[in-house]
Structure 1
Amino acid sequence: MLTVGDKFPAFKLAAVKAGKEGLLGPGKSFTEISETTDSGKWKVVFFWPKDFTFICPTEIAAFGKLAGEFADRDTVVYGVSTDSEFVHLNWRVYNEDIRNLEIPMLADLKRELSAALGILDKAEGVPLRATFIVDPDGTIQWAAVNGLNVGRNPQEVLRVLDALQTDELCPCNWEKGKDVLKPQELFEKAA
C-alpha cells in the first residue's frame, strides 16, 4: 500500500458532480476528475467498498456534511468506489442521506487507482475503507485504512488535516486552536 511520502498515483476517472449539479441526469451530472483537477489544493481522497450498502452511506454523508469545513481549509474531498458513475448517480437519487452530497463521487471502474494504491481487498476485490490526505504537491501526508466492516471518522480526518497544515509538532489529540509543541521551550523548562 502507498503511504506517507509516496506520490499519489496519476488517475483520470468519471465522476458524479457534487451538489445539485450531480442530480441533473445522465449527460449533465457527470464530469471527469484527474490528479490535476483542483491543482494546488490539499485533497482528501477516501474509498468505500460498494454502493448500495449499509456502512458506506453513513461515511459518505458524514464527509459531505464536512465539505464546507474542508473547503475552508483549501481542501477538496473526493469519494471513490469501483462502481460506475451511473450506479453512483442512481444511488444518490434513491438515498436521502447522500442525495444532496456536496462532494463528487468518482468511479474507479477498472480498479486502476485502487490497485495502484494497494487498497483492494484480496478476497472481495473491492477497495478497503482507505483515506488519504494529499498535499498540494501530490504527496501523501496521511493514510489510514479500515477493514470492510468498520466505518471511519471524518472528523478525525479533518483534525489530522488541521495538524498537517500547521507544519508544526502537534501532540496527541491536538485540535485546531490549541498550542503546538515548541521543542526549544520544552528544553528550557526542563533546564
Structure 2
Amino acid sequence: MLTVGDKFPEFDLTACVSLEKGNEFQQINHKTYEGQWKVIFAWPKDFTFVCPTEIAAFGKLNDEFADRDAQVLGFSGDSEFVHHAWRKDHDDLRDLPFPMMADSKHELMRDLGIEGEDGFAKRAVFIVDQNNEIQFSMVTAGSVGRNPKEVLRVLDALQTDELCPCNWTKGETTLDPVALLAGE
C-alpha cells in the first residue's frame, strides 16, 4: 500500500457528481484538483451497510474540508451508473457534495495497493498535499467505519506545518522544540 511520502498515482475516472438530468457524470483525473489538498477515500462496494455511513459523514464535513482548500473524492470499483443508482436510492447520498469516482477497471485501487484478495477496495483514506504527495494513509477492517472528523483533524495538523502533539486540535498550541529543549 502506498503511504506517507509516496506520490499519489495518476488516474482518470468517471464520477457521479449529481442526480440532475444531463449533469450526472464528470471526468475526474489527477490534474482536476491540481494544487489543492485532496482527501481521497475508497469503500469496498455500493449498496452495503457501513459504506454509506462513512460517505454521508464525509459529505456532512465537506464544507469544512473545502474551507481548508481540500477536495474530498470517494471511489469504489463500482461503475458510475451503480453510484448513480445508489445515490438515487439512498436518502443520505442524494445530495452528496463531492464526486463518487468509478474505478471499474480497479486500476487506481491496484496502483494504491488497496485491492483486497476479494477484488474489492479496502476501506482506505489518503490525505494528499498540493504537490500530490501522500501525507496520511489509513486502512481499517471492512467491518469498521472510519472517522471523518479524525481525518479533518489530521488535515488541520498537517496544514500547520508545525509539531502537533497527540490529540491536538485546530486552535490549540503546537509544540516548540526550542522551548522544549530549554526545559520551558
TM-score normalized with structure 1 length: 0.95
The letter for the 2-side match of 1:156 is E
Task: Structure 1: state its 5+ residue gaps.
Answer: none
Determine helix, strand or coil for the equivalent of 2:91.
coil
Distance 1:38 1:128 in 2: 24
Give the CA deviation at 1:166. Answer: 0.3
The letter for the 1-side match of 2:4 is V
Distance 1:23 1:121 in 2: 30
Distance 1:93 1:115 in 2: 28
Distance 1:38 1:134 in 2: 11
1:122-151 Cα distance to aligned partner (Å, 9 max, x none): 1x1100100000000000000000111110
User: Which consecutive aligned stretches of 4+ in structure 1 deviate over 6 angstroms post-superposition?
Assistant: none
Alignment match of 1:143 (pick from 111, 130, 137): 137
Q: How does 1:78-89 map to 2 (within 5 A)?
A: 78-89=73-84
Distance 1:166 1:133 in 2: 14
Q: How does 1:20-31 map to 2 (within 5 A)?
A: 22-25=18-21, 27-31=22-26
Alignment match of 2:177 (pick from 158, 176, 183): 183
Determine helix, strand or coil for the equivalent of 1:148.
coil
TM-score normalized with structure 2 length: 0.98
Give the CA deviation at 1:178. Answer: 0.3
Count residues with an aligned counterpart.
184
The question of 1:52 aligning with 2:64 is answered no
Determine helix, strand or coil for the equivalent of 1:87.
helix
Task: Structure 2: state its 5+ residue gaps.
Answer: none
State the percentage of identical aligned residues: 59
1:161 corresponds to = 155
Distance 1:37 1:179 in 2: 34
1:4-44 Cα distance to aligned partner (Å, 9 max, x none): 00000000000011xxxx0113x421000011011110000
1:170 corresponds to = 164
